């Protein structure tokens, strides 16, 4: 594969990259990188802007890294050191306990200008598996990948922020609705207190006078009419008692099709 062919393929691949389908695109990216630097294991680490630490994003084989137990400024492992230094590291003659069964290691920072996006690592069991020209080709893909990832990460963050705003708006509307209901309840409570104060006392006086008039009258027709009046007064008093018991008012149409509402108190009220 010529240099031009490689850059063309890398550019096309990065142009099609979508963070929403990143795993599928990462697989295609690993396929391309496999042709450039024949690795056995590879891993992509991305920077968490909030934590200012790099975290594993995707891998093929093992999530390759060195000195996993050592913590650097930008996280655990050698990748965090590469992220801080922002330069390519090629180690082609590894041995010892820290290297494990890895003979070659290549780490390339993902940069957009001076801004870090992440790090991509490659590992191979054999020593001398990676060369400097291969590292330079990987850097070409890394530059393209960094730009695309930065854009897609920004889009993903904006989408998360938009979703957060939508959730907050829903909660705000719910709170506003509860406030409206609370205000309705408070208005109903104030109205009930006023009704009891302004109507209940006169009702008691009228009821007492009706009872006295009924007991004093010898006219049965008049007594019957006074009894009906007492029943109606008792009905008014019952409505006032029910209003005092209302905790969460339920509204119903007063006249079908009309905007005016009435409080439901039960059948016959």
The strand pair at 89-91 and 115-124 is best described as unpaired
According to the model, what pLDDT value does residue 254 have? 63
Same domain, 133 and 38: yes
Same domain, 182 and 57: no
Same domain, 83 and 197: no
Is 171 inside a domain boundary? no
The domain tally of the chain equals: 2
Q: Which of 106, 134, 165 is the last residue of a domain?
A: 165
Q: Which of 143, 165, 187 is the last residue of a domain?
A: 165
Is 183 inside a domain boundary? yes
Is 114 inside a domain boundary? yes
* Structural domain harbouring 157: 3-165
According to the model, what pLDDT value does residue 159 have? 76
Question: Taking the model in full, what pTM does it have?
Answer: 0.59
- pLDDT tens across 223-241, in order? 888 888 888 888 888 877 7
Q: Which residues of the chain have pLDDT under 70?
A: 1-3, 96-99, 246-255, 257-269
Q: How far apart are CA 135 and CA 137, in angstroms?
A: 5
Same domain, 53 and 149: yes
Q: DSSP assignment of 130-147, as one string? A: --HHHHHHHHHHHHHHHH
Is 252 inside a domain boundary? yes
Which run of H or E residues covers position 116?
Answer: strand 115-124
How high is the mean pLDDT of the chain? 81
- pLDDT tens across 117-169, in order? 999 999 999 999 999 988 888 888 888 778 877 877 777 777 778 888 888 88
Q: How far apart are CA 164 and CA 170, in angstroms?
A: 10
Same domain, 82 and 183: no
Same domain, 33 and 110: yes
Q: Which of 134, 165, 196 is the last residue of a domain?
A: 165
Q: In sequence order, what are the residues at sequence separation of 6 or more whose Cβ sits closer than 8 angstroms to the Cβ of residue 128?
A: 92, 93, 103, 104
């Amino acid at each position: 594969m010529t240099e031009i062919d490689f850059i063309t393929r890398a550019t096309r691949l990065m142009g099609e990259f979508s963070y929403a389908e990143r795993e599928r695109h990462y697989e295609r990216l690993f396929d391309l990188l496999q042709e450039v630097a024949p690795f056995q294991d590879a891993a992509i680490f991305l920077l968490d802007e909030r934590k200012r630490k790099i975290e594993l994003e995707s891998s093929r084989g093992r999530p390759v890294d060195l000195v996993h137990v050592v913590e650097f400024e930008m996280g655990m492992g050698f990748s965090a050191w590469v992220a801080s230094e922002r330069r390519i590291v090629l180690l082609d003659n590894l041995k010892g306990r820290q290297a494990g069964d890895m003979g070659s290691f290549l780490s390339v920072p993902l940069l957009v200008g001076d801004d870090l996006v992440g790090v991509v690592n490659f590992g191979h069991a054999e020593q001398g598996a990676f060369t400097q020209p291969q590292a330079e080709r990987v850097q070409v893909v890394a530059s393209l990948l960094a730009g695309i990832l930065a854009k897609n990460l920004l889009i993903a963050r904006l989408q998360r922020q938009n979703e957060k705003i939508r959730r907050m708006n829903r909660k705000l509307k719910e709170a506003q609705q509860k406030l409206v209901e609370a205000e309705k309840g408070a208005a109903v409570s104030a109205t009930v207190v006023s009704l009891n104060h302004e109507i209940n006392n006169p009702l008691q006086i009228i009821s007492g006078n009706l009872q006295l008039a009924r007991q004093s009258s010898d006219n049965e027709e008049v007594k019957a009419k006074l009894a009906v009046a007492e029943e109606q007064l008792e009905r008014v008093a019952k409505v006032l008692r029910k209003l005092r018991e209302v905790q969460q008012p339920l509204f119903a149409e007063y006249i079908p099709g009309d905007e005016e509402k009435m409080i439901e108190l039960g059948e016959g009220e």
